[in-house]
Chains A and B, each alone.
Chain A
Amino acid sequence: EVQLVESGGGLVKPGGSLRLSCAASGFTFSSYSMNWVRQAPGKGLEWVSSISSSSSYIYYADSVKGRFTISRDNAKNSLYLQMNSLRAEDTAVYYCARECSSTSCYGAPDYWGQGTLVTVSS
């Protein structure tokens, strides 16, 4: 069974840092691209960042570029999001999501974690 479990969320002051983790199990993690997607309270879904299976390709939303860093450790089956210079508008539930790897669905998110809440407030 595919499982994605996020952790690392919490309350942080503006300008602070936080590192989110996503522990993957039930599939060959090293074969899949992964995404971070966030959802501010009462708002819609917003894509944050993507990383390819071998970390060769990395993409960021403009809203986080230069402040957030996505990474992965395939030996530990883990995905990370280092968040620096946090702002109030970064307050959201952060989800990790796996991208489908087969030819027919390549690039489409197929499994999601339960999310971890990040609150940026003084």
Chain B
Amino acid sequence: DIQMTQSPSSLSASVGDRVTITCRASQGISNYLAWFQQKPGKAPKSLIYAASSLQSGVPSKFSGSGSGTDFTLTISSLQPEDFATYYCQQYNSYPLTFGQGTKVEIK
């Protein structure tokens, strides 16, 4: 199975900060990497597919990069509505696997 490791597990940031979350795969997954945002008590929301492509309707302040084993999600200017938990997921092979999540909190 492919293990997905996110770092950090949590971070505190201020409105307007640039935030970067890292996701590392235990083996190469090409660009078959998705990112999701989840707010408390809500369903996940798809943000990015194929490592760097924005889902329809997702604001351009979100960006993704990487290929192979190392990936990043960047939020260019953190807004109050961005405080949430973010997950990466590989869909290169079964079983599909998620990172453990990164909680972005208000400083």
User: Interface on A for B, CB 8 Å cutoff?
Assistant: 35, 37, 44-47, 50, 59, 61-62, 95, 97, 100, 104-105, 107-115
B: number of interface residues (CB 8 Å): 24
- The reply on B14 being an interface residue by CB < 8 A is no
- Distance in Å from the Cβ of B12 to the closest Cβ of chain A? 20
Q: How far is the CB of B25 from chain A (nearest CB, A)?
A: 15
Cβ-defined contact, B96 with A35, below 8 A: yes
Q: Are B43 and A107 in contact (CB under 8 A)?
A: no
B46 within 8 A of A: yes
Determine if B46 and A111 form an interchain contact, defined as CB atoms under 8 angstroms apart: yes
Q: How far is the CA of A111 from the CA of B95 in the complex (A)?
A: 19
- Given A35-B96, A59-B95, A113 and B46 contact (CB-CB distance below 8 Å): no
Given contacts A45-B36, A107-B91, A95 and B49 within 8 Å (CB-CB): no
A44 in contact with B46 given A108-B34, A109-B34 (CB within 8 Å): no
Contact B46 A47 (CB under 8 A): no
The 6 closest A-B pairs by CB, nearest first: A108-B49, A47-B96, A105-B49, A107-B91, A112-B43, A45-B98
Counting CB contacts under 8 A, is B50 at the interface?
yes
Do residues B98 and A108 form an inter-chain contact, with CB atoms below 8 A? no
For B45, the chain A residues whose CB sits under 8 A away are 112
| Alpha-carbon separation in the docked complex, A46 to B36 (Å) | 13
The distance in angstroms between the C-alpha atoms of A109 and B53, with both chains bound, is: 13
Q: A45: which B residues are within 8 A, CB to CB?
A: 36, 38, 44, 87, 89, 98, 101
Indicate which residue in A47, A50, A95 contacts B43 across the interface (CB closer than 8 Å): A95
Q: State which of B87, B91, B100 has its C-beta within 8 Å of the C-beta of A108.
A: B91
Q: How far is the CA of A50 from the CA of B89 in the complex (A)?
A: 14
Query: B95 touching A112 by the CB < 8 A rule?
Result: no
Give complex CA distance A109, B35 in Å: 10
Q: Bound state CA distance, A79 and B97, in angstroms?
A: 21
